[in-house]
Amino acid sequence: MRDDWCISSWLQPISSEIAASYDHNAGSYHKINTLIFELFAYFESAGLEQLQDLTDDVIPEWVDSPGYNAQTQTHYDPAPTTQRNRLWAARLALKAARQLGAPIDANALVRGAVIAEDGGRKTKLLTDTQLDRVKTHADPGTRPSRRSVAVTLSLAGAKPAEIPAVCLADIDLNVGTVRLGTGDNARVNSLSEWGCRTIRRRIEHTPPDSRTEPLCVRPATSPIGAARSIRTQLSQLMRQAGIGHIDGISGMSIRYTAARKVFESAGIEAAARFLGTGSLDTAAAAVGHTWRSDDG
């Protein structure tokens, strides 16, 4: 295989390579193959031209990327089962590509997307010092950016798929709250004092055209592109703050660290509401707490 092949040129050889190991299980092969096609579509939407252009944040972003419900025309965060299936498909695809001669390190490319056995991401929480570094790099006190507002909303419990939808109409700076989510995940969460100051500075410096204009992404950005942009911004911020190299730290560490503080002050049910999940197990995994042990 040639090093200069474009991304799409690898798809059919990889699919054929994997097919050989699923000779007697057509159903499983079809599921895996569908995910691999989705993976390569994601590569192209991310602007990747060759496999060697892959960086170690692309696979984790795809594993975590929002799904789409055509019936309700809404995007949602993927379930842990979906994340595990995507990760398995990515491992198979990259391993096959390596066997076919692709100049990549398959293990390194999927390392950041490990899913915990309890269904939650193995995401490390931030120390107070690390969180202060994140805030400093997000808003150095000069020109407030969309990214600083994204950090504010993440600290308020917003999911990456929810942040792009937040507009000024969702925020009450007098009370210090933000409205997040839709349907069963709809909730009103508190903004920190730092968050309120950051949002005030942003809208004073760069006033939105209307109260319904998104605060963190350009208005014309597609929902999938917007969620990917938020994840990328937060991932880059971790690296710029000097903590992105630490195993287990990712953009999700911001949100989960805030949820841990809610848990410590108000309990696991409050943390679940804060995160917008109906599962106490998911909330417990996010904040690093084995909540069932409390029952003895």
Residue 115 sits at φ, ψ, to 5 deg, of: -100, 135
Higher pLDDT residue, 61 or 19?
Answer: 19
**Sign, Cα dihedral of 257, 260, 262, 268:** positive
Q: Which is more confident, 208 or 282?
A: 208
**Beta-carbon neighbour count of residue 199 at 10 Å?**
23
pLDDT of residue 117: 39
**Residue 294 clears pLDDT 60, i.e. is over it:** no
Give residue 47's region: left, alpha or beta (phi > 0; psi -120 to 50).
Answer: left
**pLDDT band of 290, cuts 50, 70, 90:** confident
Q: How much of the chain, in percent, has pLDDT values that exceed 70?
A: 87
Decide which of 242 and 6 is more confident: 242
pLDDT tens, position by position, 76-104 = 667 778 888 898 999 999 999 989 888 88
pLDDT at 115 over 70: no
pLDDT class of 233 with cuts at 50, 70, 90: confident
91 with 254: CB under 8 angstroms? no
Chain mean pLDDT for the chain: 84
The three-class DSSP label of residue 249 is coil
The token pair at 207 is: 């006033």
Distance CA 244, CA 237 (A): 8
Q: Quickly count: other Cβ atoms within 10 Å of residue 256's Cβ.
A: 25
A 10 A CB-CB count for 258 gives: 26
Q: List, for residues 45-78, the tens digit of each pLDDT value.
A: 777 788 888 876 678 778 877 776 667 666 666 7
Per the model's pLDDT, the better-predicted residue between 20 and 41 turns out to be 41
Q: How far apart are CA 282 and CA 286, in angstroms?
A: 6
Q: What is the mean pLDDT of residues 188-199?
A: 96
* pLDDT category of residue 223 using cuts at 50, 70 and 90: confident
Q: What is the pTM of this model?
A: 0.67
- Calculate the CA 221 to chain-centre distance: 17
Task: Identify the pLDDT of residue 26.
Answer: 76
pLDDT at 205 over 80: yes
- Distance CA(236)–CA(264), nearest Å, equals 29
Among residues 287, 237, 47, which one has the least CA distance to residue 134? 237
* Selected residue with higher pLDDT from 108 and 266: 266
| pLDDT over threshold 80, residue 222 | no
Domain ranges, ordered by start, for the chain:
7-113, 128-295
Domain formed by 128-295, architecture:
Orthogonal Bundle (1.10)
Q: Give the pLDDT mean for 23-45.
A: 84
CA angle 184, 187, 190 (to 5 degrees): 160
Given a cut of 90, whether residue 235 has pLDDT beyond it is: no
Which of 151, 175, 176, 177 is CA-nearest to residue 163?
A: 151
Look at residue 267 and give its three-state secondary structure: coil
**For residues 11 and 223, what is the distance between their CA atoms, to the nearest angstrom?**
26
The pLDDT score that the predictor gives to residue 244 is 87
Between CA 272 and CA 230 the distance in angstroms is: 22
Count CA atoms within 13 Å of residue 26 on its CB side.
0
Q: What is the residue whose two structure tokens read 């933000």?
A: 178
Return the pLDDT at 93. Answer: 93
Q: What digits encode the pLDDT tens for the residues 131-187? A: 999 999 998 777 778 899 999 999 999 988 899 999 999 999 999 999 998 887 899
The answer to which of 99-103, 141-145, 278-282, 289-293 has the lowest mean pLDDT is 289-293
